[in-house]
A and B are shown apart, each in its own frame.
Chain A
């Protein structure tokens, strides 16, 4: 894979990511947003591959696309009647939001490009990092790992508790 191909592919995925993200945000229809988000995730996963993080990319697809996105879709379906014509969402704070969007992005980009003092290391990540992830997980990052597992458990229970259908609770309100 030569450099030109690499660059081209990079730009393609970058464009997919950015534009689909823009679509997510600007689309009035929630369903469309959700599907656009799918592309964003894919794009991001591709970018991860470019960044030598193949395992992360796979995880991204499995977790985001397979889990979170489905969850979001279910959320959309739970909270909106699909048959209902008006699946659009209203916006508010458009002017300050836009302003902030421009300022934030502009600020960030300005910072990135003016800093110029990023000092990339001589040794960059090369190839697959799966094995190193495994080693790191079980050595330096064992504590965050375990904590993440506890967090997940807590989130599992919490989500199940919150979302369960509680008739009595309902009636009270």
Chain B
């Protein structure tokens, strides 16, 4: 009970682990490119939570600063990623990544 009520580092890490797992699952299994992007966002958020948690319990500012940069990065990534998805769509008339297997050849 103590473990449940005394919110510590492990709680946050658990949340981030779950988010990471879901994000990874999305990236791995979903065919829709948009959903894959969403999974990526989940992973990034999981990382952010970790950064901030460690920062909080360490008393340093590095985690905060990094999570800030991660957010910036995520914004850039989302923009470019979506642009790519749209281009893919233009070319293949689909965002089904399983259909886009030209790398096979």
Q: B residues within 8 Å of A by Cβ?
A: 4-5, 7-15, 17-26, 28-35, 37-39, 41-42, 45, 48-49, 52-53, 55-61, 64-65, 67-69, 71-80, 82-87, 89-91, 95-96, 98
Instruction: Find residues 46-88 in chain A having any chain B CB closer than 8 Å to their own CB.
Output: 47-48, 50-53, 55-56, 59-60, 63-64, 67-68, 71-72, 74-76, 78-80
- A-B contacts counted at CB < 8 A amount to 249
Instruction: Find residues 129-146 in chain A having any chain B CB closer than 8 Å to their own CB.
Output: 129, 132-133, 136-137, 140-141, 144-145
Contact A158 B13 (CB under 8 A): no
Can you list the 3 inter-chain pairs with the closest CB atoms, starting with the nearest? A155-B76, A89-B32, A162-B83
Complex Cα spacing A41 to B74, Å: 13
Contact A158 B80 (CB under 8 A): yes
Contact A75 B85 (CB under 8 A): yes
Contact B80 A159 (CB under 8 A): yes
